[in-house]
DNA sequence: TTAGAATATGAGCAGGTGCTCACATTGTCA
DNA sequence: TGACAATGTGAGCACCTGCTCATATTCTAA
């Protein structure tokens, strides 16, 4: 459609630093402003850079969100390596609780996570990104119920992640006093679902 | 904040017709374009009217979405009057299935429903709108488990509606062939959750 | 038939955003 | 130190959108 100008790949350390600064700035702006209202100018300002600098490395806002999501995904993956081993001894209830707890902590540390997760186009463009965690989850489910096909376990993982997403958006909107109750309810719901799926 | 000009309240039949046309147009545009990309000009065009006409009745895009949501909500409420009575004889599993089925049919008939439901500000502004269905649901849940407090039953209703929302967004994105499986899985998940909550 | 109310029109202004490009600065390396 | 590459800057253009308002058209009712 448009013949966009080529973006720079950082060659020096300061280039990489800049990218990191820009992403950190984007995290702040996105979490405070939401995706739509976030402006490239605002990101630049927050990073103490010029708009020009942003466009050296990113085509547009979507690209920034995408890079941030990729970063989050890598971090998430780091936390969940060996998910199966680490949770093997847990009951299904405990598994559900553990999963919810870790995800809650993650979004508290990275408040822009749900923003980029729900950003327009995320669904279509970043399926592969979401998939890493989904596949780790599916593996856990399959190891607990051998009768689940690969597709079935992926579907269970999909619903699980959707429940987390849904919880996250409510969590972000609710007052601090209500959050504990909300989280408990989601743990219960997830446990009920997983129990019915992993029994046997 | 801004002293917006006063909008017109229709006095003649053609005024009401216009509003209906505009909302119908908005439904088309919103479902095809999504909320953010939808433009007042596009809505006017789709309705065969001028931008001026749109601004006679609506302050802005949010107002249009809000009116559409209110319309959907009224329709939904019409379908669910006597929800309790109509479902009293059903088992919890059947209740979950019935609920999912009706909601799926609704969004197939009104593809803009999830768009306005997820539109920015919907959460904050239209709590009351969402609440009607939520309260009907809560009533059903309480009548099935008297030990649930009012707050608890509302929470259960909230999670239930969130599951529906989540299903809807996946449903809209998935291919026709996968939809049946998806819907079945959500029925199962909802049934599991509700069973654990309404048992006793 | 006609006055006045209701409704309809769309050019145009104010304001904002995306993104570029010519130029300035900083880093690297021989 | 000099030469070139890498990075940084921000004024400014092109574009778009929300929304208004002066004006035109249609309706109502006596």
**B13 has pLDDT over 70:** yes
Kindly report the CATH number assigned to the domain that includes residue B40: 1.10.10.60
Same domain, A99 and A193: yes
pLDDT digits (tens, 9 = 90+) for B107-159: 999 999 989 988 877 666 556 666 788 999 999 999 999 999 999 999 999 99
Residue B88 lies in a domain: yes
Same domain, B169 and B136: yes
Contacts of B60 (CB under 8 A, 6+ apart): B40
Same domain, A52 and A93: no
Residue where one domain finishes, among candidates B59, B75, B93:
B59
pLDDT the model gives residue B2 = 36
Taking a C-beta distance cutoff of 8 angstroms, is the pair A61, A40 a contact? yes
Q: Which nucleotide has the shortest C1'-to-CA distance from A55?
A: C19
Nearest to A196 among B36, B181, B192 (CB): B192
pLDDT digits (tens, 9 = 90+) for B157-173: 999 999 999 999 899 88
Q: Which nucleotide has the shortest C1'-to-CA distance from A60?
A: C18
The stretch B90-108 carries a mean pLDDT of 96
Same domain, B190 and B107: yes
User: Rounded distance, CA B174 to CA B185, Å?
Assistant: 14
Same domain, A79 and A159: yes
Q: Is B155 on the interface with A (CB under 8 A)?
A: yes
- CA A51 to C1' C27, in angstroms, rounded, equals 21
pLDDT the model gives residue A182 = 98
- CA B49 to C1' C3, in angstroms, rounded, equals 27
Q: Residues 116-145 of chain B: which lie with beta carbon within 7 Å of strand C?
A: none
Taking a C-beta distance cutoff of 8 angstroms, is the pair A192, B196 a contact? yes
Q: Is A163 on the interface with B (CB under 8 A)?
A: yes
Task: Report the phi/psi class of residue A175: left, alpha or beta, with left for phi > 0 and alpha for psi in -120 to 50.
Answer: beta
Residue whose C-alpha is closest to residue A36's, from A107, A118, A106, A130: A118
**A129 has pLDDT over 90:** no
Chain B closest CA to A137's CA: distance in Å? 17
Same domain, B141 and B183: yes
Taking a C-beta distance cutoff of 8 angstroms, is the pair A160, B170 a contact? no
Residue B8 lies in a domain: no
Nearest to A189 among B159, B173, B188 (CB): B159
Residue B37 lies in a domain: yes
Chain A closest CA to B193's CA: distance in Å? 5
Residue A93 lies in a domain: yes
Q: How many pairs of residues across A and B have Cβ atoms under 8 Å apart?
A: 62
Residue A7 lies in a domain: no
Residue B3 lies in a domain: no
- CA B12 to C1' C1, in angstroms, rounded, equals 22
Same domain, A186 and A92: yes
Given an 8 Å threshold on Cβ–Cβ distance, is A170 in contact with B188? no
Same domain, B193 and B108: yes
Helix (H, G, I), strand (E, B) or coil at A88: coil
User: Rounded distance, CA A32 to CA A152, Å?
Assistant: 38
Same domain, A78 and A174: yes
Residue B7 lies in a domain: no
pLDDT digits (tens, 9 = 90+) for B22-65: 999 999 999 999 999 999 999 999 999 999 999 999 999 999 99
Same domain, B39 and B116: no
Same domain, B50 and B75: no
Give me the number of domains chain A comprises: 2
Kindly report the CATH number assigned to the domain that includes residue A113: 1.10.357
User: Rounded distance, CA A199 to CA A93, Å?
Assistant: 12
Question: Which pair of structure tokens corresponds to residue B16?
Answer: 């009401």
The stretch A139-143 carries a mean pLDDT of 97
Q: Is B120 on the interface with A (CB under 8 A)?
A: yes
pLDDT the model gives residue B123 = 62
Tokens 């209830």 label which residue?
A: A93
- Asked whether residue A8, judged by its CB, lies under 7 Å from any atom of the DNA or RNA strand D, the reply is yes
Nearest to B162 among A34, A155, A170 (CB): A170
Same domain, A52 and A100: no
Domain extent, residue B47, equals 13-59
Residue B107 lies in a domain: yes
């Amino acid at each position: 459609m448009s013949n966009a100008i080529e973006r720079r790949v950082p060659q020096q350390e300061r280039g990489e630093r800049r990218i990191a600064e820009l992403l950190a700035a984007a995290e702040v702006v996105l979490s405070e402003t939401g995706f739509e209202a976030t402006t490239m100018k605002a990101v630049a300002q927050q990073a103490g850079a010029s708009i020009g600098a942003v466009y050296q490395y990113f085509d547009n806002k979507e690209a920034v969100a995408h890079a941030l999501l990729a970063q989050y995904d890598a971090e998430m993956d780091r936390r969940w390596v060996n998910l199966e081993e680490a949770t093997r001894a847990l009951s299904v209830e405990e598994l559900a609780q553990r999963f919810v707890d870790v995800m809650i902590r993650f979004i508290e540390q990275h408040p822009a996570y749900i923003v980029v997760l729900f950003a327009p186009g995320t669904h279509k463009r970043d399926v592969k990104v979401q998939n890493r965690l989904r596949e780790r989850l599916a593996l856990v489910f399959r190891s607990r119920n051998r009768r689940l096909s690969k597709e079935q376990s992926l579907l269970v993982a999909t619903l699980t992640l959707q429940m987390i997403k849904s919880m996250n958006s409510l969590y972000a909107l609710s007052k601090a006093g209500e959050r504990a109750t909300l989280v408990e309810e989601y743990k219960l719901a997830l446990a009920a679902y997983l129990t019915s799926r992993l029994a046997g």
